[in-house]
Amino acid sequence: MRKKRLERELNHPHFVGVRLSDIELELLDRKAEILGVSRSECLRKLLVEKEIVHRVEVVADMEELRSLVGAYGKIGVNLNQIARYFNTGGERSLAMEDEIRHCIAELFALREEVLKMAGDFERDYRGG
């Protein structure tokens, strides 16, 4: 038995040391025990068989962004008031149509600002 284990280890000539917390080590030991393999074999299986998903999370704390979010909120409130007006039998009027056009124009203007900010961010992020 020891000879087979030694032969398997010789097929993996590269050593990689990893520091783990107590909890991580316990999880590794449990998984290895469930699979009936050594810690090393368990890690190799995880490395080869598991897909690692790379996720980039962008966290921004910008005053401009807060301002845009606030503006979207105000426009949303206005649109909800307009919808409530019409849903409760409100009559169509020039003033109401002007308010709707104004809200739509503000949404398009904010959209352009967001797209410009996204372009600036992408340029900064990619080093352009």
28-48 pLDDT, tens digit each: 999 899 989 999 989 988 888
Residue 55, domain member (yes or no): no
Q: Is residue 9 part of a domain?
A: yes
CA distance 86 to 90: 5
Instruction: Pick 97 or 52 by higher pLDDT.
Output: 97
Lowest mean pLDDT among 13-17, 64-68, 107-111: 64-68
Co-location of 90 and 114 in the same domain? yes
Q: How many domains does the chain have?
A: 2
Q: Is residue 40 part of a domain?
A: yes
My answer on whether 44 and 69 are in the same domain is no
Residue 89 lies in a domain: yes
Instruction: Tell me, yes or no, whether 122 and 74 share the same domain.
Output: yes
- Any domain includes 82: yes
Q: What confidence category does residue 95 fall into, taking pLDDT thresholds of 50, 70 and 90? A: confident
**Same domain as 40, residue 85:** no
- 115 plus 67 within the same structural domain: yes
Residue 58, in any domain of the structure: no
Q: Decide if pLDDT at 4 tops 70.
A: no
Q: Is the dihedral angle over the CA atoms 115, 118, 124, 128 positive or is it negative?
A: negative
pLDDT at position 19, please?
93
Residue 25, pLDDT above cutoff 60: yes
**94-126 helix and 63-87 helix, angle to the nearest 10 degrees:** 150
Residues 6 or more apart from 124 whose CB is under 8 A from it?
none
Each residue of 49-88: pLDDT tens digit? 877 677 766 666 577 777 877 888 888 888 888 888 888 8
Residues near 113 by Cβ (< 8 Å), separated by ≥ 6? 68
Its pTM surpasses 0.85 = no
Same domain? 29 vs 76? no
Domain that holds residue 104: 63-126
Three-state SS letters, 28-90 = HHHHHHHHCCCHHHHHHHHHHHCCCCCCCCCCCCCHHHHHHHHHHHHHHHHHHHHHHHHHCCC
Same domain, 72 and 27: no
